[in-house]
Amino acid sequence: MTSSRFALWRLLLVVAAILLAAGGPQHPRGTMAEMLHDSKWIPAHALMLAGFVVLVIALRMYRRTIPASTRTQKWVRIALFCTAVQALEMALHTAATVDRDALVAGGATPVLTLHLSLSVVAYPLFALGMIGLIVSGAQERRLGSRWIAWLGIAGALGHGVAAPLTILFQVSWAPLLFPALMLLALWLLLAGFWPVHPMPIGSSEAHGSAA
């Protein structure tokens, strides 16, 4: 497996970045009932869901280029799991619109409730996995760089704490943190083009574990 500039995992990182950046700004505002009734709810979250799914695929492909003995290999496995959980949450997030009428009527909202419950776990979990990958990738020169790592860390951290602060602690300014995901999207975009430490084919370091 090659780590060339035009490797498929690089293209997928860029696609994931574009999808996340396209979906995030479309997120409606207002009360939960108002947002669920907004016509932008499904398109916005469907784009972000697609972004997380593509990111899962990108990480799976990237994992094959990383030596099994490195910290980056360990963190990419963790990030894979965390991103899959985030994608599952975003699927429920998108589907929560089915409960919009029940929410207004004061009825049961099982999908919305499940989405909100999972989000307080999925968001911090995703942040943990991505920050670990960003840091180890930069230190080992396997993904991204120290020059851009701060973008990904700030974006993942802001995204990660936004849901718990908003849902569990009802902090009034916490929703302002959700757009931090755009910083992570920018990191994904840059990491897709950033040179990585060369791994000669045939060397002992060139054989990562197969996904």
The pLDDT value given to residue 145: 96
Return d(Cα 159, Cα 153) in angstroms, integer. Answer: 10
Q: List b or e across 105-130, with b for residues whose CB sees 16 or more CB atoms inside 10 angstroms.
A: eeeebebbebbbebbbebbbbbbbbb
Is 149 inside any structural domain?
yes
Residue 200 is assigned to a structural domain of this protein: no
Q: Is the pLDDT of residue 73 over 80?
A: yes
Name the average pLDDT for the chain.
91
> Cβ contacts of residue 106 below 8 Å, gap of 6+?
none
DSSP 166: I
Total domains present in the chain: 1
Q: CB–CB of 41/97 below 8 Å?
A: yes
Share of the chain above pLDDT 90, in %: 86
* pLDDT at res. 198: 57
Residues in the chain: 211
- pTM of the predicted protein model: 0.90
Listed residue (166, 159, 94, 174) closest to 129, CA to CA: 159
> Residue 130: which domain range?
8-193
Count of Cβ atoms closer than 10 Å to residue 16 Cβ: 27
**Percent of the chain clearing pLDDT 70 (strictly above):** 91
Which residue from 178, 153, 154 is spatially nearest to 166, judged by alpha carbons? 178
Statement: residue 117 has pLDDT above 60: yes
From 167, 94, 92, 91, select the one nearest 124 (Cα to Cα): 167
What is the per-residue pLDDT across 118-128, written as a single tens digit (0 to 9) for each?
999 999 999 99
Res 201 pLDDT > 50: no
Mean pLDDT of 144-168: 97
Q: Is residue 83 part of a domain?
A: yes
- Would you say residue 176 has pLDDT above 70? yes
Confidence class for position 196, pLDDT limits 50, 70, 90: confident
Asked whether residue 208 is assigned to any structural domain, the reply reads no
Q: Would you state the pLDDT for residue 6?
A: 61
Does residue 148 belong to any structural domain of this protein? yes
In a domain, 203, yes or no: no
In a domain, 2, yes or no: no
Instruction: For 21-51, write each residue's pLDDT tens digit.
Output: 999 999 999 999 999 999 999 999 999 999 9
Helices 71-95 and 110-139 pack at an angle, to 10 degrees, of 160
DSSP state of 9: H
Band of residue 59 on the pLDDT scale cut at 50, 70, 90: very high
Q: Is residue 116 part of a domain?
A: yes
Please, which residues have CB within 8 angstroms of residue 62's CB and are 6 or more apart in sequence? 9, 13, 76, 143
